[in-house]
Amino acid sequence: MSKKPAAKKEGQSKGPSAPAKDDQGYSNFSVPEDTTNLILVVENKKLYVHRDMMMVECPGLREKLNALQEQDESTGNENSTNTPPQTPRGGDPQRPQELALEGVEYENVKEMLKCLYPPRKPVTDENVDLLTWLVGEWDIDRLRGDCEGVLMKREPATLALLLQAQQAKLDDVCEFVAKKLVEDNSIGDLKKQEEQFEQLDFSNQSRLYRHRILFLEDEQVKLDDTATLLYPLTKIATDLNHVDGL
């Protein structure tokens, strides 16, 4: 006589749950795993992640995460009786913390997570625009170099590209783009793009002026070198004209 499978005891582990994947095999972060203990709420949608991962990879979020932890601990102390506290605790997957994020877009945050979590999606020209603002705002060092490499290959150099690098705090890209910009544009021409030029911070406006001066100085040196090379030829031509006149 066959026996029925024993019912699982209350609290017994259900085993690892497979996270939802996109069509490229990267997690969508749309369902919790056994170890996820933090929920990012963006545009009223939830992304299930790991608090420690966010603390390490996104220093720009540490203040909010620490404030959330302190708030939970304070509430837990107030409710401390013989019954367990009902507030979420950091590090507890059974009661994950929720962190609401304002001023960011769901798709951008999800793309950033795909690039941070193994098997780490590469940063390319197709997704770099979704990442750059978050890289600067959350101080994500792991993705900074990849974003720099992609943006430095963009052509042509524009004030919009310089602004994008400024927002992402990509100093190397700012330096690179500013140098290329003034090789083909005067400061006057750039200032005609008034809205974008005025959004540049003092550091990047200074970069433009500095590189323009260096460019003009280099052009002057080239002109002087050319004049030095041509001078003997003009002297010979003058001498020949003098001979012909005789």
Tally Cβ neighbours within 10 Å of residue 241: 9
pLDDT at residue 10, as a whole number: 47
Stated as kind and residue range, the H or E segment containing 99 is strand 97-101
Is the separation of the CB atoms in 85 and 75 below 8 Å? yes
Walk across the sheet containing 45-49 and list its strands.
45-49, 38-42, 97-101
Query: Quick one: residue 44, left, alpha or beta (phi over 0 = left, psi -120 to 50 = alpha)?
Result: left
pLDDT digits (tens, 9 = 90+) for 4-13: 445 444 444 4
pLDDT at residue 231, as a whole number: 63
pLDDT at residue 72, as a whole number: 77
Q: Given CA atoms 165, 170, 174, 176 in this order, what sign does their dihedral have?
A: negative
pLDDT at residue 73, as a whole number: 78
pLDDT at residue 241, as a whole number: 61
CA distances (Å), 145 to each of 10, 59, 152, 172, in order?
48, 16, 11, 9
What is the DSSP annotation of 111-143? HHHHHHSTT-PPP-TTTHHHHHHHHHHTT-HHH
Q: What are phi and psi of 38, to 5 degrees?
A: -145, 135
pLDDT at residue 82, as a whole number: 52
Q: Give the C-alpha separation, 103 to 101, whole Å.
A: 7
pLDDT at residue 12, as a whole number: 46
pLDDT at residue 91, as a whole number: 75
Low-confidence ranges of the chain (pLDDT < 70): 1-19, 75-90, 224-225, 227, 230-246
pLDDT digits (tens, 9 = 90+) for 95-109: 899 999 999 999 999
Contacts 24+ apart (CB under 8 A), 39-46: 39/96, 39/97, 39/98, 39/99, 40/99, 40/101, 40/109, 41/98, 41/99, 41/100, 41/101, 42/101, 42/104, 42/105, 42/106, 42/109, 43/105, 43/106, 45/106, 46/98
